Amino acid sequence: MLKPRPEPVQVVKQRRDSALAALVESIPYIQFLGVRFDRRGDELTAVMPFCDQLIGNPGLPALHGGAIAAFLEVSAVIELSWAGLWKEIESPVITPDQIKSGKFVSIPKTIDFSVDYLRTGLPRDAYARARVNRSGRRYASVFVEAWQDNKSCIIAQATGHFLMPDPYLETTP
Amino acid sequence: MDFDKNRLAQQFMEALPHAQALGIFFENIGSGKAEMHMNYNKKFIGDPQTGVIHGGAVFALLDSCCGAAVLSHPEQKGLTATIDLRVDYMRPAKPGQTIRASAQCYNMTRSVAFVSAVALDDHEDKPVATAAGAFVTGKS
C-alpha cells in the first residue's frame, strides 16, 4: 500500500500558525503586555517589544520586575499549553477556531512561580524561551529564561509549577 | 504626616509607569510596610474560561508592594531592586473583585532586605497568593 503524500508545507504552516495565534489571542493579559510568539517547528520564542508602560524605574529607565515576571510566566504557560496541544493540532483533532472559542482548551494554572532577577531589564525588546522539564498528568515543572541584546546575558530566569487541567481537553470536539 | 505620606505615595506612583498601567493604587506606606490594591480589569484576564486574573498581574502587584515596603524601611537609603521573588498562588482570585496586597520588610542587612507579602480578595480568610523575596538595599 502506498503511503499517503505528506500535506503541502503551506497547509501545515498555516494550521500551526493559526492554532498558535488563537491560543495566544485567547488570553487578554498577553495582549496587555504586547507579547507575541515566534515559531520554528514546535519551538517557540516569546517576544516582548519595549513600550513605556513596562517601565518600573523611570530614572534608569528599567523594565518593571513585575513586567519581566509576567513575561516569563506567560512564556511558560504558552509553552506548556502549546506542548500539550501539539499532537491535537497536528492530527488535527482540534482546529484553530475551536482554540479561539476558548471552550476546548484549558489553560494550566500556576501553583508557584519563582523568579531570579540577574540583570537590569533595559528599555529594549526582550525574548524568552521556556522548557517543560516535566509534565505529568496533574503537575508540570517549567523553566524559562529571558534575554535582550545578547542570548548569553540572561536578564531573568524562573521556575514555575503548574496544575494541569483535568482532563487536558475539556471536551473532545 | 498623612499628607506627606500620601504625597510620597503619589510621587512613587507617578514614577512607575507599569504600576500605573496595571491600575495599582497605594493605600498605605511606611516603616517597612506597604499596602496596595489593584482593581479587576478584563484586560488582565489570564484564563478566558473563568475570567480569572493572570498570575503575572498578581506577581507585578506583589513585586511593587514588596519594593515599596523596602523603600519605606527606616534604614533604607536610595533605590532598591528585586533579587528574587517567589509567589505561591493559593487559589484563583474571584473575578470582579479588587485584589489587595500587603508587604512587610521583616529583616534588613547591609546588602539584602527580606520581604514577605500576601494578596487577598474579598474573602479575607484565604489568601489568593503569598510572596517571599530578597531585595537590594541601598543602605550605606
Count: domains in chain A: 1
Q: What local confidence, expressed as pLDDT, does residue B133 receive?
A: 96
Over residues B46-53, mean pLDDT: 92
Backbone φ and ψ for A89, nearest 5 degrees, come out as: -75, -40
Decide if A74 and B54 are in contact by the 8 Å CB cutoff.
Answer: yes
Touching B: A residues 139-158, CB under 8 Å = none
Cell numbers given for A61: 529607565
CA distance B84 to B99: 22
**pLDDT band at B1; cut points 50, 70, 90:** very low
Q: What local confidence, expressed as pLDDT, does residue A171 receive?
A: 46
Q: What local confidence, expressed as pLDDT, does residue B9 receive?
A: 58
Nearest to A66 among B64, B81, B88 (CB): B64
Q: What local confidence, expressed as pLDDT, does residue A69 receive?
A: 97
CA distance A144 to B101: 26
Q: What local confidence, expressed as pLDDT, does residue A100 receive?
A: 77
CA distance A122 to A106: 34
CATH number (domain holding residue A133): 3.10.129.10
Q: What are the C-alpha distances in Å from A103 to residues A95, A107, B20, B52, B140?
A: 12, 11, 32, 15, 55
Residue-number span of the structural domain to which A153 is assigned: 9-163
| Domain coordinates in residue numbering, chain B | 2-136
Q: What local confidence, expressed as pLDDT, does residue B61 receive?
A: 95
Question: Considering only CA atoms, which of A26, A12, A14, A38 is closest in space to residue A104?
Answer: A26
For residue B75, pLDDT beyond 50: yes
Q: Which of B41, B47, B99 to mutate to test the interface with A (most CBs of A within 10 A)?
A: B47
pLDDT in tens, B83-96: 999 999 999 999 99
Calculate the CA dihedral of residues B56, B57, B58, B62 and round it to 10 degrees.
Answer: 100
Domain for residue A172, yes or no? no
Q: By CA distance, what is A56's nearest residue in B?
A: B16
- Of the given ranges (A76-80, B61-65, B79-83, B133-137), which has the lowest mean pLDDT? B79-83
Question: Do B82 and A117 meet the contact criterion of CB atoms below 8 Å apart?
Answer: yes
Nearest to B42 among A28, A116, A120 (CB): A28
Question: Do A142 and A131 meet the contact criterion of CB atoms below 8 Å apart?
Answer: yes
Calculate the CA dihedral of residues A106, A69, A35, B38 and round it to 10 degrees.
Answer: 80
- pLDDT tens track of chain A, all 173 residues? 788 888 889 988 999 999 999 999 999 999 999 999 999 999 999 999 999 999 987 777 899 999 999 999 999 999 999 998 888 888 878 888 888 776 677 889 999 999 999 999 999 999 999 999 999 888 999 999 999 999 999 999 999 999 998 654 444 44
Decide if A69 and B56 are in contact by the 8 Å CB cutoff.
Answer: yes
Please report where in the chains the cell 490594591 appears, as a residue: B37
CA distance B19 to A57: 10
Question: Do A158 and B85 meet the contact criterion of CB atoms below 8 Å apart?
Answer: no
Q: Which of B89, B99, B130, B136 to mutate to test the interface with A (most CBs of A within 10 A)?
A: B89
Whether domain B2-136 has CATH 3.10.129.10: yes
The answer to whether residue A101 neighbours chain B at the CB level (below 8 Å) is: no
**pLDDT band at B12; cut points 50, 70, 90:** low
